[in-house]
Amino acid sequence: MNVAVSTVPAQALKIERVKEHIGAIVTGIDLAQPIDGATRKRLYDAAVDNVVLVIRGQEHLSPGELQAAAEMFGELMEDQNRRYLVDGYPLISVLDNRHLDSKGQPAKVGANSTWHTDHTNQELPPKFTMLYAVAVPDKGGATSVCNARAAYESLPADLKRKIDGAKTENTLISSARMATANPDIVKAQRESTKPPTVHPLVRTHPETGTRAVWFHKAKTETVTGMSPEETQDFLQELTEKITQPQFCYAHEYQKGDLLIIDDRASLHKAGFDYDHSQHRRLYRMLVRGDRPY
Ligand SMILES: [Fe+2]
């Protein structure tokens, strides 16, 4: 007698949109079970279409099962911060409000609390950032995600013209931000001999062909024709224009949520509006992307 291959019953899986421009919540799936190709494609397409996908109810996953689930979305890449990793899983990094820096002080996490996309200092930044909730505060501590392609479309024509051909020079931390940054990152930047990585300020999504504003302010040394200080002010103004509420979704975690963010069409930030005596711990995985253009 043949043993049936376990697949996800199509009728159990639900993908519900959160807002017009952003977000979808997935229920009725267990990522520890084998997932068939059609279901994988539904999840992948939903992540791209909705910019951020939340898969609920995965608190039972082991790190190995979590990594295998993440690999459905592509090849994982190393987090460039090698200090906080899950033991035995070098492709799963840890974000934790109880981390200490190399001097034993509570680690500063300021760069994550402003709107950004990940690892822009690399030639091939991630296509997806995935966040898995291990410990969550009672309320607050959301990850907010902004649909930067819908926001780009909404910009006035003169501003679009100004940013369309602009380039960003990306480092680990902008010289204009060093005074308030995590000292380990400042030290790494001071010791780095790597020239800045140049990317477009508005990138084209390789799968949909849409355009999106795309930057990490704290890592941007300059935008074409601007000094480091002017760059920070300009990117702040641009951030305010594109992170209007209709384009954004703030996800307050339940334990076991897996968030999948399409980095090619979004900016995101971590929320610090929670009781810091409570534990907030997320695992992060990055899926390797293409060179932005
Ligand atoms: Fe991030």
Taking the centre of ligand 1 as the mean of its atom positions, its distance from the CA of residue 42, in whole angstroms, is 25
What is the model's pTM? 0.93
What integer pLDDT is reported at residue 108 of this predicted model? 67
Q: Are 77 and 70 in contact (CB under 8 A)?
A: no
Q: Which residues pair with 284 in a beta bridge?
A: 93, 131
Taking the centre of ligand 1 as the mean of its atom positions, its distance from the CA of residue 65, in whole angstroms, is 23
First to last CA, the chain: 53
Average pLDDT, consecutive stretches of 10 residues, N- to C-terminus, the chain (293 residues): 54 93 98 96 98 98 98 97 93 93 74 88 97 97 98 97 97 90 87 95 98 97 96 97 97 98 97 93 98 98
Distance CA 175, CA 186 (A): 9
Return the HEC string of the chain: CCCCCCCCCCCCCEEEECCCCCCEEEECCCCCCCCCHHHHHHHHHHHHHHCEEEECCCCCCCHHHHHHHHHHHCCEECCCCCCCEECCEEEEEEEECCCECCCCCECCCHHHHCCECCCCCCCCCCCEEEEEEEECCCCCCCEEEEEHHHHHHHCCHHHHHHHHCCEEEECCCCHHHHHHCCHHHHHHHHHCCCCCEEEECEEECCCCCCEEECCCHHHEEEECCCCHHHHHHHHHHHHHHHCCHHHEEEECCCCCCEEEEEHHHEEEEECCCCCCCCCCEEEEEEECCCCCC
For 21, the token pair is: 């421009």
Taking the centre of ligand 1 as the mean of its atom positions, its distance from the CA of residue 134, in whole angstroms, is 17
Taking the centre of ligand 1 as the mean of its atom positions, its distance from the CA of residue 7, in whole angstroms, is 33
Taking the centre of ligand 1 as the mean of its atom positions, its distance from the CA of residue 114, in whole angstroms, is 9
Taking the centre of ligand 1 as the mean of its atom positions, its distance from the CA of residue 12, in whole angstroms, is 31
Reported as half-sphere exposure (CB side, CA atoms, 13 A), residue 253 has a value of 27
What integer pLDDT is reported at residue 72 of this predicted model? 97
Q: Are 22 and 52 in contact (CB under 8 A)?
A: yes
Taking the centre of ligand 1 as the mean of its atom positions, its distance from the CA of residue 11, in whole angstroms, is 34
CATH number of 14-287: 3.60.130.10
Taking the centre of ligand 1 as the mean of its atom positions, its distance from the CA of residue 48, in whole angstroms, is 17
What integer pLDDT is reported at residue 45 of this predicted model? 98
Taking the centre of ligand 1 as the mean of its atom positions, its distance from the CA of residue 268, in whole angstroms, is 6
Taking the centre of ligand 1 as the mean of its atom positions, its distance from the CA of residue 190, in whole angstroms, is 22
